[in-house]
Amino acid sequence: MSARILNGNAIRDQIYLELQAEIAALGAAGIRPGLAAVRVGDDPASKLYVNSKIAACEKLGLASFHITPPASTTTEELLAIVNELNSRDDVDGILVQMPLPKQIDSKKILDAVIPAKDVDGFHPVNVGHLVAGRPALVACTPAGVMEILRRSNIPIEGANAVVIGRSDIVGKPQALLLLHANATVTICHSKSKDLPGIARRADIIVAAIGKAAMVTPDFVKPGATVIDVGQIVIHDAAEAERIFAKFPDKLQAFRTKGSVLAGDVHPEVVEVAGAYTPVPGGVGPLTIAMLMSNTVKAARMRRGARAPAAAASRN
């Protein structure tokens, strides 16, 4: 039997509908939430990501400010940009796209964004709130994974959840969110022993490693839910053939384009899993949806005394 597909685009659309109501309520009080996205230099992947974030703002009617200093920008210059955004009343969320050029001290920059505008949830104050179970602004990708699980009626309470990957951006906050939802959580990483054996105990696997097709069918208990956070562009023909041997459409796409997108989860996992998120069209759309949700939330939190409370249950 083939697994149920958890459609991230459909869940994103549902969240956008809810957000539109909240944005309209804020608009009636004269508040238009605004997001400032800072992209340093010309990294093509960062350009693509930031452009998608700006496009989402435009679609929802949020104000957006796209700031693109050159790759030669110093830490001090970027700090000045962040400080200016911190002080602006029309900027509710600040996002500094990672990774930053090597000469910039990324930690200093992330620490400079005031926690009330930290829509990425990367500031230590927001991370601390998450650890303490009183989250304000939560990292977008793990928050999006929780939306997928909840809105797809995947039981979390009491479930064995295995998070593969321990990054600050995904693995660690993901584990905390699952824990707060009463899952029994295991975090695995590159030094874990018998990764397939640990993963096979999971009712829910979240793969956030950044290694194409690493989670193979032998990692998956029959019927488990498998969430794939990975997005890796494959340029190598042999690798594409190895991963997508049973998926002629993907191989054809590779031959046409010279590249194909893979996740951390091997596509043949569909034969074992109960439900899974595809790549693309799974977790990806939710990352941007949660950024929009965080921006609206930040506007409400910071300027909300000037607006009536609107219903919001995300995070």
Any idea which residues carry the catalytic annotation?
A: 53, 97, 120
- For 77-108, b/e burial (b = at least 16 CB within 10 A) is ebbebbeebeeeeebbbbbbbeebbeebebee
Q: How many CB atoms lie within 10 A of CB 223?
A: 12
Give me the least distance between CB of 240 and ligand GUN, in Å please. 24
For ligand GUN, the closer CB: 140 or 213: 140
Residues between 99 and 128 that touch ligand GUN (CB under 6 A): 120
- Per-residue contact string for residues 159-188; x = within reach of ligand GUN by CB under 6 A: ----------x-------------------
**Minimum distance of ligand GUN from residue 140's CB (angstroms):** 5
Contact status: 97 vs ligand GUN (CB under 6 A)? yes
Residue 72 Cβ, how far from ligand GUN at the closest point, in Å?
A: 20
Query: Which residue in the shown chain puts its C-beta closest to ligand GUN?
Result: 98
Residue 95 interacts with ligand GUN (CB under 6 A)?
Answer: yes
Determine the size of the site formed for ligand GUN (CB under 6 A): 8
Residue placing its CB nearer to ligand GUN in the complex, 26 or 96? 96
Q: For residue 299, state whether it binds ligand GUN (rule: CB under 6 A).
A: no
CB of 143 to ligand GUN, least distance (A): 10
Residue 228 contacts residue 283 (beta carbons within 8 Å): yes
Given the rule CB under 6 A, which of 23-31, 68-76, 93-101, 150-158 is the region that contacts ligand GUN?
Answer: 93-101
Range 133-152, binding ligand GUN (CB under 6 A): 140-141
Candidates 140, 38, 173, 164; CA nearest to 99 is 38
How many whole angstroms separate alpha carbon 95 and alpha carbon 120?
6
Q: Tell me the two tokens of residue 117.
A: 């505008």
**Rule CB under 6 A: is residue 98 a binding residue for ligand GUN?**
yes
- Residue 217: is it exposed, middle or buried by C-beta count within 10 angstroms (0-12/13-18/19+)? middle
Q: Of 274, 303, 291, 300, whose CA–CA distance to 64 is shortest?
A: 291
The minimum distance between CB 104 and ligand GUN, in angstroms, equals 13
Where does the chain have alpha helices with state H? 8-28, 44-60, 75-87, 106-112, 124-131, 140-151, 171-180, 195-199, 237-243, 248-257, 284-303
Let me know: does 295 contact 58? Beta carbons within 8 Å: no
Binding site for ligand GUN (CB under 6 A): 95-98, 120, 140-141, 169
